[in-house]
Copies of this chain bind each other. A is one copy, B any other.
Amino acid sequence: MTPEEFKQHGHQLVDWIAEYLETVDTRPVGPTVAPGDVRRALPEHPPLDPEPWSDVVADLDRVIVPGLTHWQHPSFFGYFPCNSSYPSILAELLTAGLGVNGMSWVTSPACTELEILMLDWMRELLALPDRFASTSPTGGGVIQGTASEATLVAILSARWRATGGAVNTDGDTTRLVAYLTSQAHSSVEKGLRIAGIGTDRIRIVDHDESFAMRPDALAAAVADDRAAGLVPFFVCATHGTTSTMAFDPTPEIAAIAHDTRMWLHVDAAMSGIAALAPEHRWVNDGLELADSYCTNPHKWMGVNFDCDLYWTADRAALLGALSILPAYLRSAAAEQGAVVDHRDWQIPLGRRFRSLKLWFTIRLDGLGVFQEQVRRHVGLTQELAGWVRADDRFEIVAPHPLNLLCVRLRAGDAATDALIEAANGSGTALFTRTELDGRSALRISVGGRTTERRHVAAAWDLLRRLSPSG
């Protein structure tokens, strides 16, 4: 492709994307394909000669778009928001166009330095503790791809600290114990498994009726394990669980963690961004006591996936766990201690220039847009909760302080499951099913960039119409 063709096709694709995003509300939210349909619509073998741009665009419209679940649809209430924004899309284009690798400072200083600055900007916008600032004596932040990776990095830091670094030599994890509730994200158990902490040494701590961790149950479990000669090393507190957006009581958990020198990681992947609005800064409660923290602008701030922000108050543990320095990655700047090499802050070696999308989004859309978005989603969720409470067929099954509402039909699990299936089958809205203490629930996650009152009202109308009369 020549530069002239790139410009021509690029302009066309930019326009195609605007058209897609501005008309996505006219499409069914979920895909309209059966397993195998997409593959069968495409050639089984690769072309050996180049094809025209127009053919690729035609296949995009014919095959790819009908095969999508439209996460940017205003009636997408599934999973969690993974919203994007026009400035962020442009930044991703720029990231690709520059094509640099930010594994070390010296491999592109601007990539490293802009990222550190963006983490400091975000710390300030979210009103996070000073201990996470890059200028603090022991802390700092970095972009991870996902909260899964942030959690794994936290676990590895904890493992290193609890063993005094010995794990790097002996690999012995057999006395380490971790604590979480059944409501913690699946990536916590997955991360522990990867790090050599099997289910035998993962304690599922009881939760209360709000689905938050019970500190007394944590304290008891920790005491039992210590009495048995085991080493409590890691506890995950979630600020906004995936199933119901429950908030674990971090200050109380921190007190227990502190007594036992356990690592306290706070996972606020979904809800931490609420702190952009000062009235929601309660979501930060207890962070001044956490060893590490993460939240995802790629969920609720219009920054394209992947962009998880990870802060630690103990970067020595992080570097102890993850640093490896072969000769071909050495640099004078790093050896003089003048710079940070982000490869030592993450699982992979290579890394994209991801901070550009934070920079573009913050500068071009601005704080007011994010605050309005958070307030709109929270307000719509609370209004929806009022409508649900007025319908006797439904019950709200968990606290809903922010932008997620979980409901079920009083008629029982089969009725709730049937409702979810019928609603998703309609194509006019999309929801996710979860289970809470063994019972079905329908999650309504309100987080789309273009989700307005009318979309929420239509979704509620759909759910009412599809529910058996009382």
Contact = CB atoms under 8 A, between A and B. Distances in A.
Contact of A88 (B9, B96, B339, B363): B96
Interface in A274-299: 298
Contact of A89 (B96, B110, B190, B194): B96
Contacts of A31: 106, 108-110
A156 B96 contact: no
Contacts of A326: 185-186, 242, 434
B108 A189 contact: no
A190 B79 contact: no
A33 B55 CA distance: 44
A94 to B, nearest CB: 6
A470 interface: no
Contacts of A47: 362-363, 366-367
Contact of A305 (B109, B200, B350): B350
Nearest to A349: B148
A377 to B, nearest CB: 17
Interface string A329-342: 11001000011000
A82 interface: yes
B173 A196 contact: yes
A184 to B, nearest CB: 10
Nearest to A443: B328
B100 A39 contact: no
B13 A93 contact: yes
A434 B327 contact: yes
B174 A70 contact: no
Nearest to A121: B46
Contacts of A98: 17, 20, 68, 72
A125 to B, nearest CB: 6
Interface string A166-201: 111111111010000000011101100111111111
Interface residues of A, dominant DSSP: helix
A465 to B, nearest CB: 23
B89 A92 contact: no
A404 to B, nearest CB: 11
A363 B38 contact: no
User: Of residues A120, A194, A352, which shows the largest number of chain B Cβ atoms within 10 Å of its Cβ?
Assistant: A194
Contact of A33 (B109, B196, B365): B109
B1 A110 contact: no
Nearest to A159: B196
A85 interface: yes
A78 B44 CA distance: 37
Contacts of A100: 68-72, 82
Contact of A10 (B33, B93, B106, B149): B93
A220 interface: no
B156 A110 contact: no
Given A6-B17, A35-B105, A35-B338, 14 more contacts: A10-B90, A31-B109, A42-B114, A44-B117, A46-B367, A56-B364, A92-B93, A167-B196, A171-B176, A171-B200, A171-B201, A186-B349, A187-B349, A306-B348
30 contacts: A1-B365, A6-B89, A7-B14, A10-B18, A35-B339, A37-B113, A42-B114, A47-B362, A48-B366, A48-B368, A50-B363, A50-B365, A50-B366, A64-B356, A67-B109, A67-B110, A69-B106, A71-B107, A89-B93, A92-B93, A145-B348, A146-B350, A149-B348, A168-B198, A168-B199, A169-B199, A185-B349, A190-B322, A194-B194, A330-B433
**What are the nearest 10 A-B pairs in CB distance?**
A67-B110, A196-B196, A17-B97, A10-B14, A171-B198, A50-B366, A92-B96, A38-B113, A327-B435, A6-B86
